[in-house]
């Protein structure tokens, strides 16, 4: 047992907390997926089947492991739920635009767990292009601003952890102690961790980055 910052740390407590967090996240993500399905398809039975398949799929066991997949799944599904409520409605109120910003914030949190969460910005870009093709009105301009703010939240969610890592491990560090990723043209710690510790080939990572 080790004491850090005045808190006692136990070797068995950390994995237990991880298992609890991932399983609760997995359960909540299934519930959010059901709500998302109802919002998109308007069919509760189909949405229920999709949520059940999400639980019992072969990935279900992996989503119950103490890893980042389940929290990411929960945050991403929540982001799509807010996005669907804003975009699929025939109304274009301030509340719908706030829902777009909230969607971007959820996606911004999600990208902290999985770097490929940046792909969740594609719907924002697509919707923004569609808005730009319409005549500018007060409602359209407000919608465009909401899409820009929401999309920017996703980018910030990706950049900030990278910046913190760069300032921690690369800035002001002697050249002899620099990690290899610090000197790359695109110094991303995500690709380095996957390549160095997970043995993912760099050629594969280049597709994602």
Query: pLDDT tens for residues 132-161?
Result: 998 999 999 999 999 999 999 999 999 999
Nearest to 149 by CA among 190, 188, 98, 193: 98
- Given a contact cutoff of 8 angstroms between Cβ atoms, the answer to whether 53 and 4 are in contact is no
Check whether residue 52 and residue 146 sit in a common domain. yes
Q: Are residues 183 and 161 in the same domain?
A: no
Residues composing the chain: 209
Q: Does one domain contain both 130 and 191?
A: no
Rounded to 10 degrees, what is the CA torsion of 188, 191, 196, 198?
150
Residues 90 and 8 in one domain: yes
- Count of domains observed in the chain: 2
Instruction: Judge if 165 and 180 occupy the same domain.
Output: no
Whether residues 141 and 202 fall in one domain: no
Is residue 159 located within the same domain as residue 180? no
68 and 122 co-located in one domain: yes
Owning domain of residue 37: 2-169
Same domain, residue pair 29 and 75: yes
Q: Are residues 164 and 183 in the same domain?
A: no
Same domain, 179 and 193: yes
Spatial neighbors of 22 by CB under 8 A, at least 6 apart, are 63, 64, 65, 66, 67, 69, 70, 71
**Residue numbers of the chain with a pLDDT score lower than 70:** 1-11, 199-209
């Amino acid at each position: 047992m080790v004491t850090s910052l005045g808190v006692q740390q136990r070797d068995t407590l950390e994995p237990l907390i991880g298992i609890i967090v991932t399983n609760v996240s997995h359960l909540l993500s299934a519930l959010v997926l059901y709500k998302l399905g109802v919002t998109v398809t308007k069919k509760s039975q189909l949405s229920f089947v999709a949520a059940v398949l999400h639980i019992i799929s072969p990935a279900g066991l992996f989503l119950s492991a103490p890893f980042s997949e389940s929290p990411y799944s929960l945050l991403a599904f929540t982001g799509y739920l807010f996005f669907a409520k804003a975009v699929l409605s025939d109304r274009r109120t301030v509340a719908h635009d706030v829902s777009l910003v909230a969607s971007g914030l959820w996606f911004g949190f999600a990208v902290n767990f999985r770097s490929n969460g940046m792909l969740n910005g594609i719907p924002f870009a697509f919707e923004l292009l569609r808005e730009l093709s319409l005549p500018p009105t007060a409602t359209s301009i407000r919608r465009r601003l909401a899409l820009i703010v929401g999309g920017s939240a996703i980018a910030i969610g990706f950049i900030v952890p990278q910046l913190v890592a760069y300032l921690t491990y690369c800035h002001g560090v002697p050249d002899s102690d620099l990690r290899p990723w610090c000197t790359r043209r695109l110094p991303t710690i995500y690709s380095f961790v996957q390549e160095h510790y997970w043995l993912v080939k760099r050629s594969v990572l280049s597709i994602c980055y």
